[in-house]
Chain A
Amino acid sequence: MNSLLTSAVAGLSAGGAYAILGVCAIFNYRLVAVVNFTGAAIGAAGTFVMVALYEAGFPLAVDVVAGVAAGALAATLIGLVMTTWFAGSSASTKAAVTAALLVGIIAVGLRLTGGQHPHNFPEIVAGSAFRLAGVEVTRASVLTIAISVLFTVLTEMFLARTRMGLQLRALSQRPMAAELIGIRVKLLALCVWAVMGAVTSFALMVIAPLRSPDFMSISLLVVPALAAALIGAFTSFRAALVGGLMIGVIEGLASGLDAFSQYRGAIPFVVILAVLLWSQRGARWDEAR
């Protein structure tokens, strides 16, 4: 039993990463109606700008700020592509475009960052916060989970309570109508992209030292992140937050159990399937009746 708890806690650090990226994916979908495959890649771009400056000898604080800014800029550029050329396209077209962009970004990113060659990622928050069930829970994991919770709460409040939030909701649901009633659609959308880029970049900087330190691995974190977002049905921030943590914990549990550990990579998909079946059960049954 104790070893199970150990394995579960060991999965927390991955879970925190999935949670924040999942929440960002929903942020993207709910506010600008794009299922964004490039989220983690944008974060990776920001992170690598930070590393490049760090390796060039600039102080860490400068690197972090510049990295976050670079992430926001990269996201804005992608946002510009999406709002300029694909504003009226269907959700699936937009998703396909971001998937294509992801492939391009990874290819360029790998070239620019020296392929598989590792980099020395500075620890932005070093050390461990506490020890639980024999596992050191790092400050980095605690911080990522904290960021996801904070981001979730703030975004929910912002959307529900502020005028701008209302405009954003209008923008994502009826972009044409929103434009007609005088909402500055493009500017708002670009702001959403920039915020997403900045948050993802910072979150990835925090977790990068304990991940495989190359551009592709970090960019591909988007897969479990989208799984987490799907658990939230691309609407509920809270469900995505919990879902992301859950996927991490289940992965941790699976690697502790020999019988399951070789199927570890499939876990996000099993979770998605289970959630979809559960959430759609009403519709199915209603139809059957």
Chain B
Amino acid sequence: MSMNSADLINNAEKEWVWNETPLLKVRGLSKQFGAGCIHCKQPTSDEQEGSRCQYCGSIWACRNLSFDLYPGEILGVVGESGSGKSTLVKCLYFDEETTVGEMSISSYEDKTSNLFEKSAQQKRYIRNHVMGMVYQNPLLGLRMPISSSGNIAEKLFAADHYHVGSIRQRAADLLQKVEIPLARMDEPPKNFSGGMQQRVQISKALANNPPLLLLDEVTTGLDLSVQAKVLDLIRNIQRELRVAMIVVSHDLGVIRMLADRTMVLRQGLIVEQGLTDQILEDPRHPYTQLLVHSLL
């Protein structure tokens, strides 16, 4: 039950070593909404078939998704609304229960066990120690009436830190990193602008130095100038902390700016994936071509 603020800071800046082992491995992730029927027991991987069952109306929002994420890498997930990209990150963060599939994280336990099968208590531990999540809607990630420092403290309590002085130091450091004036660290996020709320959310997600950060449409709905600032901040954090990220966006501009590699999702299927530059310069799949051209 003890915390040493020096430890926290050292952890944050620990040596990052290139590693060929993926940090995150996802295999065959599928998510169905609705009761399902005999016609839609399995998700099809046929692009010609839609994700909605014509018999019972159930939807396979994610169909058999498999991918890896390496330490320190940013993976972009792009697609129009309804493509399953938000459902994907919600499954990874256990906000949605995954229907079938496996996920392992190399920094957790034996590196290979399927995290979707863990108990609720273990999932909570993983959410608090191994992952951070930033939602499009800050209401989901922040307690609006509680102080900003308290929002960060909440994450630290979950990791057994109970020294108010050290917690406040850590909160101050994190808020400073996301450029929130320290004099406002005890103000509740409800007093803040949308851009500031998003930055507080990012600092909260980083509280326990997770190796993996999930960002779901974090700049959607923000003014363009504010968007640019938040994106800058995310890049700086990635450089400084070497945290691996999955960035979900419908906006190819955001993907272009942040992602090393990109997956294109359509109707719950990965239709194309590869280096971001390659996908943007030389899209192969007709759907990706459409997306890229509509951007231009």
Pair from one complex: no
